[in-house]
Amino acid sequence: MIVFRADGNQKIGTGHIMRCLSIAEELAKNGIECLFVVSGKEMCETIVSRGFSCLVLDQEPWSDLELKALTESLDEFNPSWVVFDSYLVSENYLQKISEKYDTAYLDDLAKFPYPVNLLINYNVYANDEMYRLLYKTDPSKIPDLLTGLSYVPLRESFQRVPVRPQRKTCKDILISTGGADPIHLAYRFITYLIENNKQDGFNYHILVGAMNPDKSKILALVDGHPNIQIHCNVKDMKGLILGLDMAVCAAGSTLYEIAACGLPAVTYILADNQIEGAETFAKMNLMECCGDLRDCPDAPDLLYHKIITLSKDFDKRCEMSERLHSLVDGYGAKRIADVLCDSKHCS
C-alpha cells in the first residue's frame, strides 16, 4: 500500500489532491493499493469517485494531534511509501514519519531541506541543482530527486496528445480560474464581458471548479449569453482543451494540461507558489503572463486585452503551441509511479 497525505478545500484549492490522484491511478495499474488521508471531508467524494479509499483524520491540519493520528493509522496499514503534498507540512512532521517509513514529497517552493527519501518538483523552473544547494550543509541527506517537466503528474489521457494545428481565426477561449477561485475571477470576468459588451467575436468557455463559491451566481449571470459557456465537473478535459484555440489559466496544475495539449495560453498568478512558474513560462516565451492578480481590481480588463493581442498573432500562437507540446509529454505520473514501484518495499 501507498498512502497519500494531501488536502483540498476552498482555501487551498484542489491541485494537491488532483496531482496525487494522477500518480495513484498509475500505481493502481501496477496492482498497488492506494489510500488517501485528508484532514477534512471536502475532497472525499472526488477521491472515492476515482476509485480510492479516503480516511479523514478530523484533526487540525498538520498539528501534533494530527501527526499522532496519522502515525497510528500508518502503524495499522504499514505502507511501503507515504507521499506528502502540502505547503503546510513542517520539517518536524516529515522527520517523524520518515523515521519509520519511506517518504516522498511533492514540492514547489524549496523552503527547507526536506527529510524525505524522494523529492519531486515537476515545475518548469525546477532542477536538481536547486536542491543540491538546499542540502549543501549536509549533502548526505539529499533525497533521490525527480525534477523538471518529465515528471508533471497528469492523467493518462494527456499522454502524447496529438496537437491540433492552430486556426488562423481564434474564436474559442478557455477561462480557468482554479478549483476554488479565491479572487472570484470567473464571476468578475463574465461580469466585465457583459457590462462592457466585450463578448462579441469569441466563444468563452468558463471552467468552474468544484469549490468555486460563485457557481450559482455565474450560472444565472450567463443566462441569455450563448457565447459564454460554463463547464463544471468536466469528465474529458483533454477533449475540451483540444476543441479550443487559446486558454487563460492560473499557473497551477491545469496549466500543465494545457501545455501537454499544445494550447497557446495567457497565465497569471493566484498564489505564492505560482509566481516562479508563471514568470519562467513568460521568460521562455512559452506563454503570456498578466502577473499577480490577487489585489488587482483591473484583472478582467488586463486578461481581456491579453486575449485580444494574442488572438491576432497567429505566428506566435503556432510557436507557443509547438514548443509547449514538445516540453510536456504527459507521462510524468507514470514515471513517478515507476520509481515508487521500483522500491524493494513496494507491494
Read off the amino acid at residue 323.
Answer: R
Question: Strand, helix or coil at 246?
Answer: strand
Give whole-number Cα distances, 58 to 62, 105, 315, 316, in Å: 11, 22, 52, 49
First to last CA, the chain: 6
CATH number at residue 115: 3.40.50.11190
Q: Assess whether 91 and 185 both reside in one domain.
A: no
Q: What is the total residue count of the chain?
A: 347
The verdict on residue 150 lying in a domain is yes
- Domain presence at residue 347: no
- To 5 degrees, how large is the angle CA 235–CA 146–CA 27? 45
Do 138 and 226 sit in the same domain of this protein?
no
Residues 17 and 132 in one domain: yes
* Cell representation of residue 106: 511533492
Q: Is 135 exposed, middle or buried (0-12, 13-18, 19+ CB in 10 A)?
A: middle
Q: Does 141 lie in the same domain as 166?
A: no
Specify whether 191 is located in the same domain as 51.
no
Task: Give the E-state strand segments of the chain in sequence order.
Answer: 2-6, 34-38, 53-56, 81-85, 103-106, 118-121, 144-147, 172-176, 203-208, 228-232, 246-250, 265-269, 288-292
Which domain, by its residues, includes 58?
Answer: 2-157+330-342
How far apart CA 91 and CA 190 sit, in angstroms, is 42
Give the containing element (helix H, strand E) for 321.
helix 314-327
Query: Which helix H or strand E contains 281, and what residues bound it?
Result: helix 275-283
Q: Rounded to an integer, what distance in angstroms lies between the CA atom of residue 325 and that of residue 152?
A: 13
Q: Let me know whether 89 and 111 are in one domain.
A: yes
252 plus 291 within the same structural domain: yes
In a domain, 90, yes or no: yes
My answer on whether 152 and 215 are in the same domain is: no
**Rounded-to-integer distance, Cα 87 and Cα 48, Å:** 24
Residue 311 belongs to a domain: yes
Cell of 191: 461580469
CA proximity to 84, closest of 102, 59, 99 = 102
Q: DSSP character for 296?
A: -
The 10s digit of each residue's pLDDT in 206-237 is 999 889 999 999 999 999 999 999 999 999 99
At residue 298, φ and ψ (nearest 5 deg) are -95, 20
Q: Give pLDDT < 70 ranges for the chain.
A: 343-347
CA dihedral 318, 324, 329, 335 (to 10 degrees): 180
In a domain, 289, yes or no: yes
Separation between Cα atoms, residue 92 and residue 108, nearest integer Å: 19
pLDDT at 201: 87
- Best CA proximity match to 244, nearest among 262, 225, 224, 221: 262
Among residues 256, 211, 215, the alpha carbon closest in space to that of 238 is found at 256
Overall domain count for the chain? 2
Rg of the chain (C-alpha set):
20
Cell 479509499 -> residue: 53
Report the SS3 class of residue 287: coil
H or E segment at 23? helix 15-29
Residues 145 and 174 in one domain: no
**Does one domain contain both 323 and 334?**
no
Q: Are residues 195 and 137 in the same domain?
A: no
Beta-carbon contacts of residue 100 (< 8 Å; ≥ 6 apart):
71, 74
Query: Is 310 found in the same domain as 275?
Result: yes
The enclosing H or E element of 220 equals helix 215-221
